[in-house]
Amino acid sequence: MKNQLNFLSTRSGFNTALRYFKLVNKFIKKFDSKVNLADSINEALENKLTDQTQIAAILNALLVDKFGYVSKSFNMKKTFSGKMQDISDELSKWNMFDIVISYFHPQLGQIVINPKNQTSIENVDKFKENELVVAFVGNFKAEYDKTVAAEAAEAIKQIFNEEKPKNLKKFYGEAKVADKQAAEEKKPAATAAAAKPAAKTAVTTPKPEAKPAPVSNAKKKLSPQYGITVANELFHNGNVEAWKRIINSYETKYPDTKILVFYDGEEIKDINTLFKWGKVKHGTNIYVSLLGPEFRDVSKLRRYLSQGASHMFEAFLKGDPSKVLALF
């Protein structure tokens, strides 16, 4: 018979398990105050009390096994094109139920969302086609009608897929007075403004090395996609090398943030594999997003990338190629 507890025989394994049990017990106590589990998990993630690998275990142990929430998993039929606030506004009316959403984001990995908390749901840029979503519906420690909860979970699936479920008022229940904490959580988060690309200008001679900014421990989020129009006749190897040096400069300055590149609706892991000579032509849009705790120097980044996608790309290829450009 296989011993399932071998990991407890080491100090590190035992301490990991002990920290996990203590954290889960804290979450259980918060249920008495009707604190949504997604809010508790995200707070613990920000304070580095847990990590993303434990999310699935916590959701299953508490919502499924202990409190008997109804769960429904589904893949997005299409990318959600509506406003995240609309989802939050609707589900906030569902006083009969507590709701937790688990979403497997293609860049952020598994994340948990309190859909009644506008700040929580707007941390996700969009729900993408084919990605996995799991909806958990219950009522903290109180009893509830599981048949109606299953209907609510199905309605959530329809809302996420931009369909129109019927008779949503059955989930509203009696009106409740939100406490101060809930009111604070409902305040909309500040969103990053999408600045218009500035006119192309020649880049000044950069210093050879860029100094990195301090690494932030804040939870990462994904920015909107910013379009960069190819102004060169072709986006060729010189443009590619210019972009690589610009991106390297940005990520060196801000090591807690990554630049993601998208073309034709797909994320490009290695720009060399797509942006070959003649592949991307004049007038084509290439999109970039920032993955990090905050979005800094966006206008400057877009200006440099626009120049790197033009006939002025050579300005970024000067100097020692092994050195990082100090652009930011």
- Is a pLDDT exceeding 60 seen at residue 208? no
Q: Say what the pLDDT of residue 25 is.
A: 92
The domain locations on the chain are: 6-185, 221-316
Same-fold call for 6-185 versus 221-316: yes
pLDDT (mean) for 183-203: 46
pLDDT (mean) for 308-320: 92
Q: Say what the pLDDT of residue 218 is.
A: 58
- Is a pLDDT exceeding 70 seen at residue 255? yes
140: alpha, beta or left? (left if phi > 0; alpha if psi -120 to 50): left
Encode pLDDT of 63-81 as tens digits: 999 999 999 999 999 999 9
Burial 230-266 (b: 16+ CB within 10 A, else e): bbbebbbebbbbbbbbbbebbbbbbebbbbbbbbeee
Provide the mean pLDDT of the chain.
84
Query: What is the DSSP secondary structure assignment for residue 40, as one 8-state letter?
Result: H
Q: Which residues, in sequence order, are CB contacts of 214 under 8 Å at separation 6+?
A: none
Q: Can you tell me the distance from the alpha carbon of 226 to that of 262, in angstroms, rounded to the nearest whole number?
A: 10
Q: Say what the pLDDT of residue 200 is.
A: 46
Question: How far, in Å, are 59, 98, 101, 113, 291 from residue 127 at the CA level?
Answer: 20, 21, 12, 12, 16
For tokens 């952020």, what's the residue? Answer: 108
pLDDT (mean) for 277-301: 87
- Is a pLDDT exceeding 60 seen at residue 181? no
Q: Which of the listed CATH numbers 3.90.320.10, 3.40.50.720, 3.20.20.60, 3.30.1340.10 matches domain 6-185? A: 3.30.1340.10
- Is a pLDDT exceeding 80 seen at residue 186? no
Q: Say what the pLDDT of residue 197 is.
A: 47
Q: Which residues, in sequence order, are CB contacts of 203 under 8 Å at separation 6+?
A: 304, 307, 312, 315, 316, 327
Phi–psi pair at 73, nearest 5 degrees: -105, 145
- Is a pLDDT exceeding 80 seen at residue 219? no
Encode pLDDT of 79-104 as tens digits: 999 999 999 999 999 999 999 999 99
- Establish how many alpha carbons lie within 13 A of residue 77's alpha carbon, considering only the half-sphere containing its beta carbon: 7
Answer whether 0.85 is exceeded by the pTM. Answer: no
* High-pLDDT (> 70) share of the chain, %: 83
Reduced to 3 states (helix: H, G, I; strand: E, B; else coil), residue 208 is coil
Query: What is the DSSP secondary structure assignment for residue 48, as one 8-state letter?
Result: T
Query: What is the DSSP secondary structure assignment for residue 24, as one 8-state letter?
Result: H
Reduced to 3 states (helix: H, G, I; strand: E, B; else coil), residue 141 is strand
Homologous superfamily (CATH) of 221-316 is HPr-like (3.30.1340.10)
Ranges of beta strands (E only) in 114-218 are 132-138
pLDDT (mean) for 273-287: 79
- Is a pLDDT exceeding 50 seen at residue 286? yes
Q: Which of 172, 174, 217, 269 is nearest to 47 (CA)?
A: 217
And the tokens for 48?
């580095």
Ranges of beta strands (E only) in 207-305 are 221-222, 226-229, 258-263, 266-268, 285-292
pLDDT (mean) for 310-317: 93
For residues 84 and 159, the answer to whether their CB atoms sit within 8 Å is no
